[in-house]
Structure 1
Amino acid sequence: MAMAPQSAGTTNATSGGGGRSYGAALTLLATLFFMWGFITVINNTLLPHLRSVFDLNYTQTTLIESVWFIAYFFASIPSAKLIERIGYQKSLVVGLSIMAVGALGMILAARIPSYGVTLAMLFVIASGITLLQVAANPYVAVVGPPETSSSRLNLVQAFNSLGTMLAPAFGAYLILGRSVSGTSTDGGATMTAAERLADAQSVQLPYLIVAGVLVVLAVIIARFPLPAMGQATSRVAREDRRNHSLWKHRNLVFGIPAIFIYLIAEIGVANLFVNFVSQPNIANLTHEQAGNYLTFLWGGMMVGRFVGALVMQRISAETVLAACSIGAFVVMLVTVVTDGPLAMWALISVGLFHSIMFPTIFTLGIRGLGPLTEEGSGLLIMAIAGGALVIVQGWLADEFGLQTSFLLTAVCELYILFYALWGAKPTNAVPETAPTAG
């Protein structure tokens, strides 16, 4: 299973000034959260672009994102084993290096151009991100007092949302804005073979920039004096774990499908957003213009996480999660049954309600696991593979219409509500202790 840098109930071993030391480490981790959010959301402008370049239907288009999230399933356990073998800091460097290799591979895929190579390189990039996620999410969740873990992870995840907010503008300008399909009102339906080739190669500069940034960040992390976690990075004694069972913890058992289902909702909205708002009965925009509106969707997630970090200092995480799931359900129904700007802004507003869901479900899911925190964290990270089932929404869009397909998102919100009201209540919880500086 995926190994978290620390189990709940263990004590951090740091030198004096541990608070400042961890503050610097969390600041650096916020940079990683920003970067993998930025790269992930480039896909949202890349997908409509590739749909035109390779003349794909919605099922084939969403398969691109499915491959991305399948990487979470296959790479999670190897990532945990790598972290255990070479340590936290070296694993971060390896993860960033893998991502850089994938970004350079996207340049090759564009030069060919090749749909198959594109899928392979996106899998490589996502595998690198998985390695970062396996360590960073549980680390942030358990590095401070247990009662503020949801608040803390929401705060750091807000920087992930900052990356996702800026990425659409980057993609719209450097990919959609420099392509025939991105600036055409018909989505490039009448493109010539030469135009398709030129459009395919328009992704080379953006991914070259991304690869360069990843390499620089890897060098910085390799030289950064991250605090040694001491016993926090070692697996709990096998004898201790034998006395506990993951499946007796209701909050984890129902939290795994909650993460899985939430990812279907989030990724479905983000990936089909550009195509949806470009429709004549919604906003009648070019793909480039629609890509700019995607910034508001991710911006709402950033604002929501900053606000959520503050609100959850006073209101329970379960209550906030329930309220957000209800809000998301309502706006998704509005998206399905209305047209014009109202439908567009309803879809944009779901970002605000989705904002706190992943970090809150994650921290509720590992609450009270004690010596099983590592295994529980790993299962929750693997559940991110739920994003691969966005292909189901692609199929629904092909069969029943793009707007109708968002009913799947509304159904997903109802499960999150169930989890907040009942599934997140811990059973057989092991008493947690806040980490202290030694």
Structure 2
Amino acid sequence: MYLLTSLFFTWGFITVINNTLLPHLRSVFELNYTQTTLIESVWFIAYFFASIPSARLIERVGYKKSLVTGLVIMAVGALMMIPAAHLPSYGVTLFALFVIACGITLLQVAANPYVAVVGPASSASARLNLVQAFNSLGTMLAPLFGGYLILGRSNSGTASADQVLTQAERLADARAVELPYLIVAGVLVILAIVIARFPLPEIGASTNREAAKAARKNHSLWKHRNLVFGIPAIFIYLIAEIGVANLFINFVSQPDIGNVNHEKASHYLIILWGGMMVGRFAGSILMRKFTAESVLAGCSIGAAIVMTVATFSGGSLAMWALISVGLFHSVMFPTIFTLGIKGLGPMTEEGSGLMIMAIAGGALVVLQGMLADHYGLQMSFLLTVACEIYVLFYALWGSKATNAFPEEPASDVK
């Protein structure tokens, strides 16, 4: 569990570097909001293409080799960011981020169900919320890392919101990402070596390939209501989470909101992700007293309220309302995930692959970019409010398990 926690931390950290990378690339390549959010869309499209192949790879070679493979793929993608910055090339940057995201997809498909299955199903949501809290620790520290090494070392990051950069300044800024991604690649290689040498136990008979084959002959995944509605729940929730995070720095930097430069705005982003970390620790505790569905419903209501405030208010009230949504978003992904795969038994890996594929919903953040271009950045957060309403529906009705396999004992790990 300690080793798995380090993986959750790592992919959270690398994913949220994008939140500081996007405003940086927006200045370097002179992008509008639609083009900026397209960068993140490419990142999440990787989940759509890589999830099912990842699930099949895990079935064939096991969890340990799959985790090592995922880390190596991520390291390769991180190293590709160096020539992308040196050229500089918008296209190569997109491809490098796609490669990193493919590696993270493989880690997600392997690690999330592993944590859910290694203990009793009744406490799976609490257990996954606990390790996801360390994922949030990574997301909280990433803006500090990106803010200092990317935004703090570039002209665009330290300039005022209305300052226009010269061509020479943009070319110089492009190379600011070389050192951060070189550091990231080195850490990923070290972690891959550690996991390769670690005796990671395999999940037992309840989810192995032979049992899954036998189950598929007489059973369909689509008979599980919690999975059928859980896949779009993950998809829609990711639109909300990624939309807030990716447009956060641009929103806070506006003169009528926070009136700060991008580097200083990244410090407030740390608080947003810190709220997610605190919320996941709290959620892990709450779910030992209340049902996961009840906690999820309460958080979706809270998120809808603060996003409405962020949309229709201004100044520090709007800024802090947007920051506070991290606290309510905290439990959503791990809780939806565990509710979605609950009762799948020998088809847990396949169901997990479909749930992780739904993370591709983050790619639709480009829709929020389009809304921001046409109706204003602040009004685009109404899309987030709509997403919270679907999560509430899932918590109240869609998450009810149907045709569930009997729960197997936690000792089924060997």
TM-score scaled to structure 2, two decimals? 0.98
- Amino acid aligned to 2:333: F
Is residue 54–residue 353 contact of structure 2 (8 Å, CA) maintained in 1?
no
Q: Which of the numbers 375, 381, 386 marks the counterpart of 1:411?
A: 386
- Note the alpha carbon deviations across 1:216-259, whole angstroms, 9 max, x for none: 11111111121244545621153332221211111111111000
- Report the alpha carbon displacement of residue 88 of structure 1 after superposing the two structures with TM: 1.4
* Equivalent-residue separation in structure 2 for 1:109 and 1:232 (angstroms): 44
* Equivalent-residue separation in structure 2 for 1:125 and 1:275 (angstroms): 24
Is residue 114–residue 203 contact of structure 2 (8 Å, CA) maintained in 1?
no
Structure 1 residues 429 and 85 mapped into 2: Cα distance closer, same or farther (>3 Å)? closer
Question: Is 1:54 aligned to 2:11, yes or no?
Answer: no
* Equivalent-residue separation in structure 1 for 2:105 and 2:65 (angstroms): 15
- Report the alpha carbon displacement of residue 202 of structure 1 after superposing the two structures with TM: 0.5
Gapped regions of structure 1 (runs ≥ 5): 1-25
Spell out the pairing of 1:37-436 with structure 2 (5 A cutoff). Answer: 37-186=12-161, 189-231=163-205, 234-235=208-209, 236-436=211-411
* Equivalent-residue separation in structure 1 for 2:93 and 2:327 (angstroms): 31
**Greater Cα shift, 320-329 or 227-236:** 227-236
* Equivalent-residue separation in structure 2 for 1:121 and 1:165 (angstroms): 23
- Note the alpha carbon deviations across 1:71-121, whole angstroms, 9 max, x for none: 000011221222222221111111111101111100110000000000000
Moved segments of 4+, more than 6 Å:
none
- Report the alpha carbon displacement of residue 427 of structure 1 after superposing the two structures with TM: 1.6
* Equivalent-residue separation in structure 2 for 1:196 and 1:106 (angstroms): 16
* Equivalent-residue separation in structure 1 for 2:213 and 2:186 (angstroms): 42
- Amino acid aligned to 2:200: L
Is residue 207–residue 346 contact of structure 2 (8 Å, CA) maintained in 1?
no
Is residue 207–residue 347 contact of structure 2 (8 Å, CA) maintained in 1?
no
* Equivalent-residue separation in structure 2 for 1:140 and 1:414 (angstroms): 28
RMSD, aligned α-carbons: 1.2
- Amino acid aligned to 1:364: L
Structure 1 residues 355 and 237 mapped into 2: Cα distance closer, same or farther (>3 Å)? closer
- Report the alpha carbon displacement of residue 337 of structure 1 after superposing the two structures with TM: 0.6
Is residue 45–residue 175 contact of structure 1 (8 Å, CA) maintained in 2?
yes
**Greater Cα shift, 221-230 or 412-421:** 221-230
Is residue 307–residue 384 contact of structure 2 (8 Å, CA) maintained in 1?
yes
Structure 1 residues 86 and 371 mapped into 2: Cα distance closer, same or farther (>3 Å)? closer
* Equivalent-residue separation in structure 2 for 1:186 and 1:249 (angstroms): 49
- Amino acid aligned to 1:164: T
Is residue 118–residue 203 contact of structure 2 (8 Å, CA) maintained in 1?
no
- Report the alpha carbon displacement of residue 419 of structure 1 after superposing the two structures with TM: 0.5
Q: Which of the numbers 18, 30, 54 marks the counterpart of 2:5?
A: 30
- Report the alpha carbon displacement of residue 65 of structure 1 after superposing the two structures with TM: 0.2
* Equivalent-residue separation in structure 2 for 1:35 and 1:359 (angstroms): 16
- Amino acid aligned to 1:329: A
- Amino acid aligned to 1:372: M
Is residue 73–residue 100 contact of structure 2 (8 Å, CA) maintained in 1?
yes
- Note the alpha carbon deviations across 1:125-162, whole angstroms, 9 max, x for none: 00000010111001101110110000000000001000
Structure 1 residues 230 and 317 mapped into 2: Cα distance closer, same or farther (>3 Å)? closer
Is residue 244–residue 372 contact of structure 1 (8 Å, CA) maintained in 2?
no
- Report the alpha carbon displacement of residue 372 of structure 1 after superposing the two structures with TM: 2.5
Structure 1 residues 369 and 233 mapped into 2: Cα distance closer, same or farther (>3 Å)? closer
* Equivalent-residue separation in structure 2 for 1:324 and 1:27 (angstroms): 28
- Amino acid aligned to 1:191: L
Is residue 53–residue 196 contact of structure 1 (8 Å, CA) maintained in 2?
yes
- Report the alpha carbon displacement of residue 204 of structure 1 after superposing the two structures with TM: 0.6
**Greater Cα shift, 139-148 or 242-251:** 242-251
- Report the alpha carbon displacement of residue 29 of structure 1 after superposing the two structures with TM: 0.5
* Residue aligned with 1:175, SS: helix
* Equivalent-residue separation in structure 1 for 2:17 and 2:164 (angstroms): 25
**Greater Cα shift, 192-201 or 82-91:** 82-91
* Equivalent-residue separation in structure 1 for 2:97 and 2:215 (angstroms): 39
